[in-house]
Amino acid sequence: MAELSYREAVARGIAQEMRRDPTVVFLGEDVAGAGGVFKTTAGLLDEFGPDRVVDTPISEQAILGALMGAAMTGLRPIAEIMFSDFFAVCWDLVANEIAKSRYMTDGQVSLPLVIKSGNGGGVRFGAQHSQSVENWAMAIPGIKVATPSCAADMVGLMAAAVRDPDPVLIFEHKALYATKQDVPDGEIVDRLGTARILRPGRHCTILALGLMVPRALAAAEALAADGIDAEVIDVRSLVPLDARTILDSVGRTARLFTVEENPRLCGWGAELASIVAEDAFWDLDGPVVRITTPHIPLPSAAELEDLAIPSTERIAGEIRRAMG
């Protein structure tokens, strides 16, 4: 057992898979000698050399084009898009090429690749470097989407993504990079499509993702002082989605709250609320409540950014009001 930061867990997950499988390669901007702008790839170049850890030009289209070609020709490549906001520059390759190739070739071409990216706000990077965009990816058929919220999950879900036969996007939350957790020694392999109940409860279910997970847990502790026993579920994987765990929880608690960092309009919680309304309507004792960032560009000013992104206090307050 060793204490790892979330950023160290990224490198550990990648290194674990590169040691296991010589076809795993890594490419991106400043990922080799510099160890990544967020230091999530430190040490990889020293261990695996420049043939397997490759610095690229500053071109997201070139990175994903090379990634796709490598996957088509027998490698299992991983690429970094430095900020998830920059997916907007290369979204055609994700949405129209990578996501569609296996389907359009009737399985003759598979793309076992991973794209990792720094996602989300809370670190004062402004509107063009702070977006939470996992809902963009969730909307595209043909790709899988995961967002680890802790170091152990980062190692395990990264390994699961690398071993998966389909394209997987891993969203790393920038505000979690410095957080630490004891992580077991040895190989860790998780499973995509599994949510995790982090706190059992009787009175309501809270669904959260990424940075919102520790905030939801803290809010649940605050609610407990008021006699509200909240169950907290880390959704972890949006595609595939563990709807069974969510529906079973709502069946027990009869109330559902989603805590989303992405802007409210078309956020991931809207889809989960729709699933619950269709499949568990008669289990609900009240409307599904979505606690989200407003539909605005994320501000640069610290006070405004903190006001926009759901805080522990806001989460607890909105649940407290809805629960009466």
Tell me if residue 60 falls in helix, strand or coil.
helix
Instruction: Pick the catalytic residue from 8, 17, 29, 60.
Output: 60
Cα separation, 250 vs 139, whole angstroms: 24
Strand order through the sheet with 24-28: 53-55, 24-28, 76-83, 114-119, 168-173, 144-146, 237-239
Nearest 5°: phi and psi at 302? -55, -45
Tell me how far apart the alpha carbons of residues 76 and 70 are, in angstroms, rounded to a whole number: 7
Residues contacting 38, CB < 8 A, separation 6+: 7, 118, 172, 174, 177
Strand, helix or coil for residue 204: strand
230's torsion region: left (phi>0), alpha (psi -120 to 50) or beta? beta
Give, in order, the Cα–Cα distances in Å from 271 to each of 135, 230, 276, 291, 304: 10, 21, 9, 14, 27
Any alpha helices (H) in 21-133, and if so which ranges? 44-48, 60-72, 87-92, 101-104
CA angle, corner 104, sides to 101 and 107, nearest 5? 75
CA-based nearest residue to 186, from 19, 66, 31, 35: 19
3 annotated active-site: no
- CA 129/CA 127 separation, integer angstroms: 6
Catalytic site includes residue 129: yes
Residue 178 has a CB neighbour count (10 Å cut-off) of 10
Q: Which of 17, 29, 80, 129 is catalytic?
A: 129
Q: What is the DSSP letter of 301?
A: S
Residues annotated as part of the active site: 60, 129
